[in-house]
Amino acid sequence: MLLEAKNIVFGYERGRNILENMSLSIESGERLALVGPSGCGKSTLAQILAGNYVPGSGQVLLDGKALPRRGFCPVQLIYQHPEKALNPRWKLGKSLFEAWAPDDGFLNALGIEKVWLSRYPAELSGGEMQRFCIARALAPETRFLIADEITTMLDVVTQAQIWNMLLRIAAERNLGILAVTHNGELAKKISARTVTFPEKT
Amino acid sequence: MRGKAANLKEADAGMKRMVISMGMKGIFAKKRGRRTAAAITGCVFFVILLAIYIGGALLPDSALAADFSQKSLPPSMKHLFGTDFLGRDMFVRTVKGLSLSLAVGAVASVISALIALAVGVTAAMGRGIADHAVNWFIDVFMSVPHTVLIILISVAFSRGAFGMLVGLAVTHWVSLARIIRGEVLQIRSMQYITASRRFGKSRLWIARKHILPHMLPQFFVGLILLFPHAIMHESGLTFLGFGLPPEQPAIGIILSESMKYLSGGAFWLALFPGLALVLLVLMIDKLGNTIRSLLEPREAQL
């Protein structure tokens, strides 16, 4: 499968585009890193690729077709702040099963302990919550993962753990990964190819 | 000698520290105490309101029978609020009137709050046309004086208890609908809602599972705070003759009847029932605010 962004133009305000004619493509099984300074539009592009924002012009195509508006989206976005991506009034088990019903082996592989399922987001640490967000996004229908700074707020050991396990699962399932980061070293470590955003002039 | 002075100084500092730490403890105790006090106040008010309602409902109609031997008596131990020109006990009439007001207020504010919830959520979830339409509608409702609107609706619905209930129910939802719309707008922009959409959940499912539970505290507080409005409007309407029929023991009826006798010095006919109504309304208002402060401790700043 192929996920393409073609000539994307996007601006939050009229007359001030943050993305001008941006194009990129990822294939299944490919790992691509998107690197650039803060405020350059990396996250915006991630949102557009996941179908959350509609670009001013240009298209996001999955195998030549537009992303489905309804139903489970094969392109899943994992957010930077897991505490915002989980309903604070839901126990984590409920949030997890909202997407799909993983088995125990899968949870084990992600380092999710069973007792966490009956806890609220406020009772877990950032890394623990992020594991849930990743588990949610790894439903069987998922083909591409957009990882928007998913480990930026975590310590180095946890970062390594999470990326190791994510890359392993992605390789098993032949998922395409777009990792958005401003950490060049991390980008080198996890991806074969890097797209660097130009410095704004 | 010097050693002793140093010891004293140290002891003094120790005392000071202790006083400070005790002061801190005192503040914390006070804070916890305030929450408990709020809960107790709420409970007491609730019990009083319940007692008024049940008392009024249980009192037999025979307690309101005319007794011309007891005509127009001022307040006494036998007749706490005095008697009226037909010799009916004003205390019984007042309790029955308040009880009726509570029932009317409850029905009207529950219907109003449900309308507000439905309208607010629809507006915020629908966006575009639905949102514009609802906002326009709210503006229209708010631009017409409340009482006039209720009178018009109540007359259109053949007056009486039913017409008034309809009037009260369809005019009180606007402000709460606005609040709920704002809250929904805020919550629907959360990332977990977007994520839910991407997991293939429908708008309806998200509204039911994600958004409605967040609205419940606001809904219940809004519901209780609508109550006093509805009761005041009910009494006002009845006083003006557009509300409950004269055979009902309503506060509005009592007050409008008393107008004829006030000039004769029968102050108790209006004073006690009116005062009771004001107290009832204040109590419900306080109850609503107490519940709000207990549900949302950060926003209410006890």
Higher-pLDDT residue of B219 and B29 is B219
8 Å CB contact of B198 and A71? no
Q: CA-CA distance, A16 to A97, in Å (whole number)? A: 40
Name which of A100-109, A142-151, B119-128, B185-194 the model is least confident about.
B119-128
Q: Considering only CB atoms, which chain B residues are within 8 Å of A82?
A: none
Average pLDDT over residues A168-176: 90
Percent of chain A with pLDDT over 90: 24
Average pLDDT over residues B151-169: 87
Say if the ipTM goes beyond 0.90. no
In a domain, residue A179? The reply is yes
Report the CATH number at residue A190: 3.40.50.300
- Asked whether the predicted pLDDT for residue B154 surpasses 70, the reply is yes
Name which of A82-86, B158-162, B276-280 the model is least confident about.
B158-162
Using one digit for the tens of pLDDT, what is the confidence trace for A121-156? 989 988 899 999 999 999 998 999 999 988 888 888
8 Å CB contact of A72 and B200? yes
Q: What angle do CA A99, A79, A56 make, to 5 degrees?
A: 100
- Asked whether the predicted pLDDT for residue B4 surpasses 60, the reply is no
- Asked if A79 is an interface residue toward chain B (Cβ–Cβ < 8 A), one would say yes
Average pLDDT over residues B79-103: 84
Note the pLDDT of residue B161.
83
8 Å CB contact of A98 and B190? no
Domains of chain B: 2-300 (1.10.3720.10)
Residue from B199, B201, B206 to probe the interface with A (highest A Cβ count within 10 Å):
B199
Q: How would residue B30 be classed by pLDDT, with cut points 50, 70 and 90? A: low
Angle, helices B268-295 vs B251-262, to 10°: value is 150
Note the pLDDT of residue A129.
92
Higher-pLDDT residue of B76 and B96 is B96
Question: Which of B201, B197, B183, B192 lies closest to A87 in space, CA to CA?
Answer: B192
For residue B248, count CB atoms less than 10 angstroms from its CB and return exposed for 0-12, middle for 13-18, buried for 19 or more: middle
In a domain, residue A106? The reply is yes
Q: How would residue A201 be classed by pLDDT, with cut points 50, 70 and 90? A: very low
Q: How would residue B302 be classed by pLDDT, with cut points 50, 70 and 90? A: very low
Q: How would residue B214 be classed by pLDDT, with cut points 50, 70 and 90? A: confident
Question: CA of B37, closest CA in chain A: separation in Å?
Answer: 27
Note the pLDDT of residue B10.
60
**What's the order of all strands across the beta sheet hosting A65-66?**
A19-27, A2-10, A57-62, A65-66
Task: Measure CB to CB from residue A98 to each of B194, B196, B213 and give the nearest one.
Answer: B196
Note the pLDDT of residue B32.
62
Q: How would residue A177 be classed by pLDDT, with cut points 50, 70 and 90? A: very high
Contact at 8 Å (CB) between B188 and B125?
yes
Q: How would residue B110 be classed by pLDDT, with cut points 50, 70 and 90? A: very high
Note the pLDDT of residue A77.
92
Name which of A38-42, A72-76, B133-137, B287-291 the model is least confident about.
A38-42
DSSP assignment, residue A68? Answer: P
- Asked whether the predicted pLDDT for residue A109 surpasses 60, the reply is yes
Range of the domain at A65: 2-196
Note the pLDDT of residue B247.
80
Q: Which of residues 113-152 of A touch B (CB under 8 A)?
A: 133, 136, 139
Q: Considering only CB atoms, which chain B residues are within 8 Å of A95?
A: 192
In a domain, residue A201? The reply is no
CB atoms within 10 A of CB B13: 10
Higher-pLDDT residue of B256 and B62 is B256
Note the pLDDT of residue B1.
47
Higher-pLDDT residue of A145 and B56 is A145
Residue of A nearest to B212 (CA): A89
In a domain, residue A65? The reply is yes
- Asked if B210 is an interface residue toward chain A (Cβ–Cβ < 8 A), one would say yes
8 Å CB contact of A72 and B210? no
For residue A137, count CB atoms less than 10 angstroms from its CB and return exposed for 0-12, middle for 13-18, buried for 19 or more: buried
Note the pLDDT of residue B193.
92
- Asked whether the predicted pLDDT for residue B113 surpasses 90, the reply is yes
- Asked whether the predicted pLDDT for residue A183 surpasses 90, the reply is no
Distance in Å from the first CA to the final CA of chain B: 52
Provide the number of structural domains found in chain A: 1
For A20, the 3-state DSSP assignment is strand
Name which of A13-22, B63-72, B117-126 the model is least confident about.
B63-72
- Asked whether the predicted pLDDT for residue B11 surpasses 80, the reply is no
Percent of chain B with pLDDT over 90: 10
Note the pLDDT of residue B298.
59
For A25, the 3-state DSSP assignment is strand
